[in-house]
Amino acid sequence: MPEFVAGAWPPAPIRTERLVLREPEARDRPAIIELFTSPEVGTYIGGPRPRDEFERALPDEPERRPGLFVVDLEGAMIGIVTLERRDTEGGHPSHVVGKVELGYLFLPRAWGHGYAAEACTAALDWFAGAQPGEPVVLYTQTANDRSMRLAARLGDGRAHDHPRNEAP
C-alpha cells in the first residue's frame, strides 16, 4: 500500500460526543464477524462473507492498518470507518484510483442514530489535520439510500460523492 499519512498513524483515540475512534482490539472480534457476515450490511457491497470461512480466516488479534478506525460506543464496537488510498484493484473507476477514499460499515442495530455521520466527520477532521489539502473521495451505490443520505450530510466540500449505478 502506498504511504498513507507519514508518521501520523496510529493517532491517539479520537473522542466525539458519543463515540471513540480507535484501532481494532481482540475484544472486537465478535462484532467484526457480525459486521462482515451480516446480509443487511452486505447488501450494497458485494454481499455478506460466508460466516465459517470468515471466522476461520480472522486472526485472534484483528488486523490493524493505517486508516482503519473501529468505532466504539460505550466500550463496544458498532462499526468501522476507513480512510484508505485506493489502488487499481476492486473495479474502482479511474478518478478514484490513487485517491484516499472514505468507507463506513456499521452494525444494523447502530443505524439511525447519527453514529456513522458523527464518526465520519471526526475521521475526516482528523485526516484534514494530518494531511492538509489532500482530497477525500466517497464512492457508493446510488441505490444505497442510507449511504447516499450520509454522503449528502458529509458533502460540505471535504468529501466528494461519486455515486455509481451498477452493482459491484
Ligand X SMILES: CC(C)(COP(=O)(O)OP(=O)(O)OC[C@H]1O[C@@H](n2cnc3c(N)ncnc32)[C@H](O)[C@@H]1OP(=O)(O)O)[C@@H](O)C(=O)NCCC(=O)NCCS
116 counts as binding ligand X under rule CB under 6 A = yes
Residue 110 CB, nearest distance to ligand X (Å)?
Answer: 7
Total residues in contact with ligand X, by rule CB under 6 A: 20
Residue 12 CB, nearest distance to ligand X (Å)?
Answer: 23
109 counts as binding ligand X under rule CB under 6 A = no
Residues paired with residue 101 on neighbouring β-strands, in sequence order: 84, 137
32 versus 132: smaller Cβ distance to ligand X: 32
CA 100-47-158 angle, to 5 degrees, is 25
48 burial type by CB count under 10 A (0-12 exposed, 13-18 middle, 19+ buried): middle
Enumerate residues 6+ apart whose C-beta is below 8 A from 20: 13, 14, 71, 72
Enumerate residues 6+ apart whose C-beta is below 8 A from 37: 48, 49, 50, 51, 54
Residue 132 CB, nearest distance to ligand X (Å)?
Answer: 25
131 versus 144: smaller Cβ distance to ligand X: 144
Give the whole-angstrom CA distance, residue 24 versus residue 65: 9
Binders in 51-90 for ligand X, by CB under 6 A: none
Residue 154 corresponds to which cell in the numbers above? 458529509
Binders in 120-159 for ligand X, by CB under 6 A: 140, 144, 146-147, 149-150, 153
The window from 1-9, 70-78, 100-108, 126-134 that contacts ligand X (CB under 6 A) reads 100-108
Residues paired with residue 79 on neighbouring β-strands, in sequence order: 71, 106
Choice from 45, 97, 130, 143 touching ligand X (CB under 6 A): 45
Q: Which positions touch ligand X (CB under 6 A)?
A: 41, 44-45, 104-106, 111-117, 140, 144, 146-147, 149-150, 153
